[in-house]
Structure 1
Amino acid sequence: MKKLYITISLICTVLSLQAQKQLSLEEARLSALEYNRSLKVSESHKQAAEAQKKDAFTNYLPSLAASSSASVIPGSISTGDIFLPTAASPADAMAGSYNGVAHMPNSEIDNFTFIMADVSVQQAIYAGGKIRTANKMAESGIVIAEQAYQLKESEVILNTDEAYWQLAALREGVILAEKYVQMLDTLEGQLNASYELGLVPKSEQLKVKVQKNDAELSLLRASNGYKMLQMNLCQVIGLPLDTEFELTERVDFNPTLPNLVNGNVLAQDQRQELKILQEQGNIAGYEKRMVNAEYLPQLGAQAGYNYFKIDNLIDDAQFMVAASLHVPIFNWNQRKHKRVVAQTKIDEVNYNLEDTKEFIQLEVQQIQLKLQEGFEEVLWAQRNKSEAQESLEETQLSFDVGLNTTTDLLNAQATWQNAQAKEVQSLANFEILKTQYLKVIGSL
């Protein structure tokens, strides 16, 4: 059902892009999840695990087998005198209890024919717990495949968010670069007029021109960077690289810090890596059970129908029912040695599990610090932008009345543009950090 939902959403995304040339973050995520090849591999692993579970379940069921053979020897052959042992009943024959001999005199047979066919049904009654344990191992395999898929899914979403917000930040950067060029263009026009009237020297006019040339080069680089990041996002979500679209999402200029309480508790409970290791520990335990099962009695039953014909001499069919019991008696401590090997696997998984828990705890604390730092960086950038805006306005007024130089105004404009860019970048980084935090606690 989830696969169908993603496919339908992808179709809607493509149609939306063709009609409106717009792309939301949710559409980008859905498209990336549908397109990503690593996810397709994980999906095939899930299907394989489910098939293994079905295969393990068939061991509970009886097996049916049939075979037949026919031989013809052309020409004429002599049988010679044939002496065959005889038994009072088929059961005595199966037990090897014979009570006489039947004599078949020599005869000539043309085109000697031998035909044999049998059908048998076998059913395991008790296999030391092997079948039940194998089914539990298969169930753990399904859980591992599902958690591995979810882990890859969260990685795809994080990569998509990073590409999306980097592109969104650079889009704002292009807009700012355009505003900065327009600002310098306006100032250049003012100084050109003042220079024509002889109010300012040529050097003042050239200062603005040089600054404007640098700003135009920065705008060109920002525009090219935007195109490259757009192609990068196209590659991530599976669209043609030359696809052009507008992002519908903008950075939140009034961000809030996520609730960081119980982050480590959530991570220990939800992280896919831990669930995978826990299931691997279960499988290691099941493997140890399988070792024990090898040295327990094995009981099975079989029923069969046999038919055989030897030319015109014998034409017979028999129904057979049998039971088999296998009891290991002595194995030179082989069971003990295999149990030691199985236990080392259990210990290894447990050590890895504890190491991973500690690593995740460290990872959660680190991302929480980064989030708090990123939030403070946003607040700092916004204060800096406000101060830069106020400084620019004051400098512009002073410049208009001749109290500040052209250099002072150019510096104020550059500081304003830099402050605006840092605010946008800090906001985009904060959005990415929020996604990283959700991934770290296993909620993405």
Structure 2
Amino acid sequence: MKTEFSLAQLADPDIAEADKILRACVHCGFCTATCPTYVLLGDELDSPRGRIYLIKEMLEKDQAPTADVVKHIDRCLSCLACVTTCPSGVNYMHLVDQARVRIEERYQRPVAERLLRAVLAFVLPDPGRFRAGMWLARLARPFAVLLPSPPPSATPGLTSRLKAMLALAPGRLPKPGPAAGSVFAPLGKKRGRVALLQGCAQQVLAPRINQAAINLLTRHGVEVVLVKDEQCCGALTHHLGRDGDALARARANVAAWRAEAAKEGLDAILVTTSGCGTVVKDYGYLLREDRDFAADAAHVSQLAKDITEYVAGLPLQTTTRRDDWQDNVVVAYHSACSLQHGQKIRELPKELLSKNGFVVKDVPESHLCCGSAGTYNILQPDLAGRLRDRKVANIASVKPDMIAAGNIGCMVQIAGGTSVPVVHTIELLDWATGGSRPTLN
């Protein structure tokens, strides 16, 4: 794709990166076949290729985003299926992230939407605030029926978004998990030492996930540290275009992990929420211009691993006979977009489950997003609901006993449309290697 940025514009590192990304695009359109919004809507401007044209024009002309541009960028899930499909290696992720920052800085959204986005950015990354928000949502859920239902085709308004938020609130909240600063000693001979990302939403909604990871790791000789000064990874605010907040969180985490590594070393920084993992693995890029953090951020990106990547290197001790073990448990594996497209981890989780006694079934249209995508199921509830229903129907076609996924957002989204238990991959691996049976929803 030909670009026409001025030399002054190209002096900006972000514009220079956008120029490189845009020039890699050859207009082939392969991305349209795997883009969830294009599959649903059939609108070229709701495909990666269409959005690339919109972003190019906006950046080249250095103009404020129009309402039409914002509409189509907002509809993007950042699922990155287009990145997997693209034969030219177009890094759409960094391009659309830059567009979101431009929108946040230069576009005046309606007051109600600005308020909602500010609340999401304030509440979701903080576990204490998020827990309080979930309690309030539980109290408000009975009144959701009083809110009018807008037409499905309408541009999402505050009412539909509030209803989506209340629908996602769980019926009950589990007790908090282990406190930050906790260290879990390995059982038997020590094989390694890792930091486990505590997360924000996950530690409120499902602390059992990290507990299963801790149980499995320590049982196989790995010391696990929950770093005290760790923060939200920054993914939630990053995808809302609030770059300042996201980068501040990235710097804080790099500093915290650097200090922890200086004590007794870290073999890896493990992540059980793949949406977080994709961003942490990108810290080196996000902080590339920061002289104080660039080198350490790049090192953190190298240390960061999805939990399945690290577990695959352990000599797992599968328990063949257990009182609560079911023979031939059929598991439908949902491949989270942030894992299969963002981190390029596709077969490994399925291989681990299969090797440890589960019957693993591929889900049809596994490349398509479930509609969770961070805050997408709140901000774009109609599209998110349609994608969830499509995903649930595809899952149902393989008749599973359980559904496994590697991302809490996907788990909550899918569980909202099915009665089949939805669990994390690490919970099943913990169960198979001597841990307790997963708590089923």
TM-score above 0.5, yes or no: no
Bigger relative contact order (CA 8 A; separation at least 6): 1
Shorter-normalised TM range: under 0.3
* Higher strand content, 1 or 2: 1
TM-score by length of 1: 0.17
* Higher helix content, 1 or 2: 1
